[in-house]
Structure 1
Amino acid sequence: MIAALWNRLWLFNFGELLRHPGRTLLSGAVMGVSAALIVAVLSISGSVTGSVDKLTKGLAGSADLEITGITDAGFEQAMLAQISATPGVKAAVPMLRGTLGSGEDRALLIGADQTITALGSDLAGPMAQYVNKLATTERGVLVGAAMGLQEGDPVRIGAGTATVAAVLDSGATGRLNGGHVVAGPLPLLQFLTDRVGKLDSVQIVVKPGTDVGALRTTLTEVVDGRAVVAEPSLRTAQAGGAIQIMRYSTLMSSAAALIVSTFLIYNAMSMAVAQRRSTLSLLRAIGGKRGPMVRDLLVEAALLGLVGGAIGAAVGALMGRFAIGRLPAAIVQSVEARTEFEVPNYAIPAAIAACVLSTVVAAAIAARQVYKVAPVEALAPVEAGDVAATGKVLRWVALVAGLILGAVAIAVAFTDLGRLSLGAITTSFTATVFLCFAATGPIVRGSAGIARWFGAPGALGATSLERAPRRVWATAMTVMIGVAAVVALGGASGNMVKSATDSFQNLAETDLYVSPSAVEQFPTGPVLPAGLAEKLAEVPGVDQVVPAQMAFATIGSGRVMLQGYSTTVSDARLGDVDAAVIEQMRRGEGIVITRDVARSLSLAVGDEVTMPTPSGQHKTTVLQVIPYFTAVSGVVMMNLDQLREWYQRPGETILSIKYAAGADPDAVRAAVRAQVPPEIHVNTGAETIDAISSGVQQGAAMSNMILWIVVLVATVALLNTLMLSVLERRRELGVLRAMGTNRKFLLRSVLAEAAGIGFIGAAIGLVVGIAVQYLATVAIGHAMTIDIVYRPSPLIALYGAAALGLALLGSIPPALRAARMPIVAALAVD
């Protein structure tokens, strides 16, 4: 039975794929594109979270819980005795964690003592193995193989210098930041980083039989809000939040590509059924059952999706590797681990499954023709007569479903659901497809009407369109989605970039910014050298030096960015904060939070909030909730002195400098640069705005690239549809040629068909795109917690024309084939 099934599949299905390599390659290619996009997107987000997870497991070993600092300032080491003495704690392993360098030179700094052996982690073995070398080498540390250092080399750490006692082999540090790691005795690294008596982490190994949940509650009481008690996986979850916006936006664009590919597969399978009409009818006539025929078609489609998806998945992995090195610097900076490329275990199976499911669903719809046509009618054109008609009940169901989904999309877009509001975009496209299905008749008549504008050749093309309503609808939808996606998501992305950039325009009011971080990164540390602000205030031409500090902090299970401002003077970065609120902040009466923080913590103006800090829990009041571009985390603004005291972070991480009236900007900047250490960055306000704009555009660029890939897929869809039209009418075209019709007439006829489908699809796409752009602008505003201004760009028409032009390119090959078809070969068609 299996042999008979295989023979039947090979003879009537797989063999057909080989006999039509062009169509097979095109269909497989579009599924491959969809799979590649899905794998690439999942690989980017998976690489960020996977790198953090690998590092976390590599350091935590057998630890069940981890106590971490609320900020990078850590917490008092004096708490270690209480933690160790807590019933149920088998071992409490203290650590100092930090980063050295930046960019490609960024490395992880780890300080630990002899208790690390209790973890059995990737670092425990090397620390025990080289304990003698660490003890006998003055200021000795261990370095990973990827650091490019040798034994005896100096290593700059903080304000001091250590010496390489040993180089760990790549196997020992493979899971530790890709070998970019510096590890040493805890007291030494505390001294070198000027953090004596401070810890960043305590790994907890639980005694057998202890209730981990109850122990976590007890430890939370012990730390009393001065640190965070959680599972080690909390770091991975927080890293996922940093990449979430990019993952959502790119997955939506990839979903659009998959939808377009599904329509294309429907057309391809319709073409396959059309070319096998005589074979299928013969099988029906000799007693063949329709069920096995349909199942064979579904198996054929599944194979197409499987092979296309598998090849595309491999290409997607390469795309992801290329893209991971171009992530915005702010995202890379916000996670502790060095981001290493990896394809998550679920990425390739998910992409292939999506492709197989799409091809099977599309083929199932196309294969309904086998059930609809009686054997005696099988030699007629596929979609002739009532066979192609869509039932009224189905159209009404589609109309109702479309209206309901449209209402849901509007509700989701205008309800502040944070990142979940982005679901309105996909929902609105789905609603449009349902509504257009209900309007199949008007769409087909509109396409035919446009084709008739081209005279007699157009009339012939219009007749062909009216005979194939389902195929016309499916192709018009591919063009519509391509155009609408470019207009809607491209326009909304442009609105977001413009509004985000505009929201930071007040930064240009400051002449210079001095920070330890590059201009495209958040100035979260380390703190600037003590006394630098006073030193710069004495530079000739400097009128004012305003200190500020920023730091990532954990509140609950989420991360926020603390921003402390010296409210005794004006600060351009407080532009959205009311003047009265600034005065309240100056008096230390409360904080200002962004919308996403208010939403996640269920806070409103006037509410009291408890802030966990290294100095204990502090109660304060929410003074104002503001819109603020927060692609990575929410923001809490407060008085600088308050931040320094509560979070035990003296100093500042950024200085704003204003020039004196009449000062030479170039001369003052040069003088400031001369007073600042070489590793400190000095940038103008204009450079800062350009960097922010570039970072936002970089994050949106990938989604925009995917959108144009969707348009290319729509081009292939139109090519497939018109090629099917030519194949179905070979005899008809041959008769016309035999009667004296010239090649130019047939060429113009096929081009008229393309124009009819293309223009009606583009027109619907423009209307839908403008409407969805508005919804997307509102939804992205909720996701980004910023007020985005809806700007219907005049480039919309250009985008639509470009997308339509690319789609119409697909009409050229079938038009040429129709014009060049030999008369005898066309008349010989069975």
Structure 2
Amino acid sequence: MIAAAWNRLWLFNFGELWRHPGRTLMSGAVMGVSAALLVAVLSISGSVTGSVDRLTMGLAGNADLEIGGITDAGFDQSLLPAIAATPGVAAAVPMLRQTLGAGDNRALLVGADANVTALGSDLADPLGKHTKALLTTPRGVLVGAAMGYQVGDQIPVGGGTATVAGLLDDPASARLNGGHLVAAPLPLAQFLTNRVGRLDSVQVVVKPGADVGAVRGALTQAVDGRAVVADPTLRTAQAGGAIQILRYSTLMSSAAALIVAAFLIYNAMSMAVAQRRSTLSLLRAIGARRAPMVADMLVEAAMLGLVGGLIGAAIGVFIGRAAIDRLPAAMVQAVESRTEFMLPGYAIPVAVAACVLATVLAAGIAAGQVYRVAPVEALVPVEASPTAAGGRVLRWAALAGAIALYAVAFTLATLDLGRISLGAISTSFAATVLLCFFATGPIVRAAGWVARLFGAPGALGATSLERAPRRVWATAMTVLIGVAAVVALGGASSNMVDSATDSFRSVAAADLYVSPTPPEGFPTGPALPPELAAKVAAIPGVAAVRPAQMAFATVGTGRVLLQGYPPLREDSRLGAVDGPVIEAMGRGEGVVITRDIARAQGLSAGDKITMPTPSGTREVTVLQVIPYFTAISGVVMMSLDQMREWYQRPGETILAIDYAPGADQVAVRAAVRELVPADIHVDAGTEVVEAIASGVRQGSAMSNMILWIVVLVATVALLNTLMLSVLERRRELGVLRAIGTGRRFLLRSVLAEAAGIGVVGATLGLVTGLIVQYLATLAIGHAMTIDIVYRPSVLLLVYGLVALGLALLGSIPPALRAARMPIIAALAVD
């Protein structure tokens, strides 16, 4: 029986795929594109979280809990005895963890003492193996293989230098920050980074049989809010939150590509049915049952999706690997580890399964168009049957579903549900497809009307369109989704970039910024040298120097960005905060928070927010809730002096400098550049704004690229549909050629069909795109906690026309085929 089934599949299904390589390659290619996009998107998010998780587990080993610093300033080492003495704790291993360098030179410094052997971690064995070298080498450290140092080399660490006493072996390097790691004895690490008496984490091993939950509670009491007690996986969860927006936006664009590909597979399978109609009708006439024939068609589609998905998944791995190096700097900065490419185990199976499911569903619809009719009716074009455009009940059900989904989309977009609001985008697209299914008849008539504008050839093309309503609907949907996705998501992305840039425009009010961080990243540290602010203020031509400080901190299980400013109304960086609130903040009466923090904790102005700090838990008043661009994390603003005191972070991480009236700006900037150390950045305010805008654009660039791939997929869909039209009418076209119809007439006829479908699909796409852009703008505003202004751009019409032009390119091959079809071969059909 298995052999018979295989022979039947090869004869009637797989063999057809082999005999029509063009159609097979096109169908497989679009599925491959969809799989590639899905794998790339999943691998990007998986690489960020996977890199953090691998580093976390490599350092934590068999630790059950981790006590972490609330900010990168860590916590006082005096907490260690209380932690170690907590009932149920078998070992408490202190560590110092600090990022060194930036960009390609970014590495992690880890300081640990002899207790690290209790963890059995990837770091424990190298430290034990090189103990003698570390003790006998002045300022001796271990370095990872990827850093390019040799034993005896000098390496800059913090404010000093160290000597390479040994190298981590390749296996340990691979698991520990990709080999970009410096390991040192804890006292040396503290001395080199000027953090004597400070710790960043304590890895806790619980005694066998002890209740981990009870130990956690006891440790929470022991640290008294001055540190965070959590599972070691907390860092991984926080890293996942930092890339959620990028993951959602790219996944939505990839899903649009998959939907368009499914419509294309529907058309391809319809083409296969049309070409095999005589064979299928003969099989039905001699007694073949419907179920095996439908099953064979579904197996054929599944194989097409499987092969295309596997090939595309392999390509997606390379795309994801290349994209890792192009992640926005602010996003990379928000996580502790270097982001190394790591393909999640679920990425390829999910992508391939999605492709197979899409092809099977699309093929099932196409197969049902033939196998629901009687054997004699299988010789008649499917779309000529009364059910071709869908039954009345099905169409009215589609209308009801469309209305319900539009209501859901509007609700999601208008309610401030955070990232859940982004669901309004995909929901509105689904509602549009259902609404257009209800309106299949008007859409087909509109396509025919457009085709008739091309004269007699267009009338012939219109007749062909009206005989194939379901196929016309499916192709119009591919054009609609392609155009609407570019207009809606591209327009909303452009609105987001513009609004985000406008929200930071006040940053340019300062003439210069001095920070240890490049302008595209957050100035979270390390702190600037002491007295630097006073020295800069003394430079001739400098009117004012305003210090500030930023740091990532843990609040609950989430990660926020702390911002401390001098409470001055004239400080442009506080432009979103009301004047009286700035004064209250200066008096230490409370803090300002962004919408996402308020939403997550159910807070509003006047409520109390609990903030753990290295100096103890603080319960403060929320003075104001503000919109603020927070793609990475929420923001808490407070007085600079308050931040220094609470979080035990003296100094500042950024200076804003104003020129004196009439000063020689070039000379002043040169003087500042000469004064500050070489590794500290000096940037103009306009340069900082442009760097921020560039980072936002970079974050949306991948999503926009995917959208144009969707348009190219729609081009292939139109090609497939028109090719099917030509194949179905070979005999008709042969008769026309035999009675003297010219090749040019037939060419224009097929082009008129393409124009009818393309113009109607693109028009609907533009209308849909503008509506969805409005909903997407609201939804992204909630997700980003920023007020985004809805601005339909004239360029969107250009984008729509370009998308239409690309789609119409798909009409050229079938039009040429129709014009060049030999008369005798065409008349010989059937």
TM range (shorter): over 0.9
Query: What does residue 471 of structure 1 align with?
Result: 471
Amino acid across the alignment from 1:464: S
Query: What does residue 480 of structure 1 align with?
Result: 480
Amino acid across the alignment from 1:552: F
Query: What does residue 719 of structure 1 align with?
Result: 719
Does residue 577 (structure 1) correspond to residue 577 (structure 2)? The answer is: yes
Q: In 2, are the aligned partners of 1:13 and 1:296 still within 8 Å (CA)?
A: yes
Query: What does residue 127 of structure 1 align with?
Result: 127
Question: Partners of 1:334 and 1:798 in 2: how far apart?
Answer: 37
Per the alignment, in what secondary structure is the counterpart of residue 386 of structure 2?
A: helix
Question: Partners of 1:737 and 1:373 in 2: how far apart?
Answer: 32
Q: Counterparts in 2 of 1:308-707, with a 5 A limit? A: 308-568=308-568, 570-707=570-707
Question: Partners of 2:498 and 2:650 in 1: how far apart?
Answer: 36
State the 1:214 CA deviation: 1.6
Q: In 1, are the aligned partners of 2:490 and 2:704 still within 8 Å (CA)?
A: yes
Please list every run of at least 4 consecutive aligned residues from structure 1 whose deviation after the TM superposition is greater than 4 angstroms: none
Note the alpha carbon deviations across 1:167-217, whole angstroms, 9 max, x for none. 122122211000110001001111111111110000011111111112111
Query: What does residue 296 of structure 1 align with?
Result: 296
Note the alpha carbon deviations across 1:347-385, whole angstroms, 9 max, x for none. 100000000000000000000023222111222223223
Amino acid across the alignment from 2:199: L
Question: Partners of 1:156 and 1:19 in 2: how far apart?
Answer: 65
Question: Partners of 1:172 and 1:790 in 2: how far apart?
Answer: 51
Per the alignment, in what secondary structure is the counterpart of residue 814 of structure 1?
A: helix
Question: Partners of 1:242 and 1:657 in 2: how far apart?
Answer: 30
Amino acid across the alignment from 2:643: L
Query: What does residue 751 of structure 1 align with?
Result: 751
Question: Partners of 2:539 and 2:215 in 1: how far apart?
Answer: 55
State the 1:568 CA deviation: 4.5
Q: In 1, are the aligned partners of 2:479 and 2:714 still within 8 Å (CA)?
A: yes
Per the alignment, in what secondary structure is the counterpart of residue 624 of structure 1?
A: strand
Q: Counterparts in 2 of 1:74-223, with a 5 A limit? A: 74-223=74-223
Question: Partners of 1:317 and 1:712 in 2: how far apart?
Answer: 21
Note the alpha carbon deviations across 1:405-432, whole angstroms, 9 max, x for none. 0000000000101111111000000000
Amino acid across the alignment from 1:149: Y
Question: Partners of 2:156 and 2:193 in 1: how far apart?
Answer: 10
Question: Partners of 1:57 and 1:147 in 2: how far apart?
Answer: 21
Question: Partners of 1:799 and 1:227 in 2: how far apart?
Answer: 52
User: Structure 2 length as normaliser, TM-score?
Assistant: 0.99
Amino acid across the alignment from 1:331: M
Does residue 790 (structure 1) correspond to residue 767 (structure 2)? The answer is: no
Q: In 2, are the aligned partners of 1:549 and 1:565 still within 8 Å (CA)?
A: yes
Q: In 2, are the aligned partners of 1:290 and 1:370 still within 8 Å (CA)?
A: no
Question: Partners of 1:232 and 1:381 in 2: how far apart?
Answer: 63
Note the alpha carbon deviations across 1:655-695, whole angstroms, 9 max, x for none. 00001110011010001111100000000000001101100
State the 1:388 CA deviation: 1.5
Query: What does residue 765 of structure 2 align with?
Result: 765
Unaligned runs of 5+ in 2: none
Would you say how many aligned residue pairs link Structure 1 and Structure 2? 830
Per the alignment, in what secondary structure is the counterpart of residue 379 of structure 2?
A: coil
State the 1:159 CA deviation: 1.5
State the 1:796 CA deviation: 1.6
Question: Partners of 1:586 and 1:387 in 2: how far apart?
Answer: 73
Question: Partners of 2:393 and 2:799 in 1: how far apart?
Answer: 37
Per the alignment, in what secondary structure is the counterpart of residue 226 of structure 2?
A: coil
Question: Partners of 1:721 and 1:12 in 2: how far apart?
Answer: 22
Task: Specify whether residues 569 and 794 from structure 1 end up closer, same or farther in structure 2 by C-alpha distance, changes over 3 A only.
Answer: closer
User: Structure 1 length as normaliser, TM-score?
Assistant: 0.99
Question: Partners of 2:578 and 2:741 in 1: how far apart?
Answer: 77
Per the alignment, in what secondary structure is the counterpart of residue 174 of structure 1?
A: helix
- More displaced, 371-380 or 810-819? 371-380
State the 1:158 CA deviation: 1.5
Question: Partners of 1:103 and 1:369 in 2: how far apart?
Answer: 57
Question: Partners of 2:313 and 2:160 in 1: how far apart?
Answer: 48
Query: What does residue 805 of structure 1 align with?
Result: 805
Q: In 2, are the aligned partners of 1:385 and 1:467 still within 8 Å (CA)?
A: no
Question: Partners of 1:389 and 1:109 in 2: how far apart?
Answer: 66
Question: Partners of 1:173 and 1:24 in 2: how far apart?
Answer: 45
Q: In 1, are the aligned partners of 2:413 and 2:422 still within 8 Å (CA)?
A: yes
State the 1:387 CA deviation: 4.4
State the 1:569 CA deviation: 6.5
Question: Partners of 1:569 and 1:130 in 2: how far apart?
Answer: 56
How much identity, in percent, do the aligned residues show?
A: 75
Question: Partners of 2:729 and 2:313 in 1: how far apart?
Answer: 37
Q: CA RMSD in A?
A: 0.7
Unaligned runs of 5+ in 1: none
Question: Partners of 1:501 and 1:376 in 2: how far apart?
Answer: 65
Q: In 2, are the aligned partners of 1:294 and 1:370 still within 8 Å (CA)?
A: no
Question: Partners of 2:813 and 2:828 in 1: how far apart?
Answer: 22
Per the alignment, in what secondary structure is the counterpart of residue 380 of structure 2?
A: coil
Q: In 1, are the aligned partners of 2:569 and 2:579 still within 8 Å (CA)?
A: no
Q: In 1, are the aligned partners of 2:226 and 2:613 still within 8 Å (CA)?
A: yes
Query: What does residue 3 of structure 2 align with?
Result: 3
State the 1:602 CA deviation: 1.2
Q: In 1, are the aligned partners of 2:568 and 2:582 still within 8 Å (CA)?
A: no
State the 1:601 CA deviation: 1.4
Amino acid across the alignment from 2:119: L
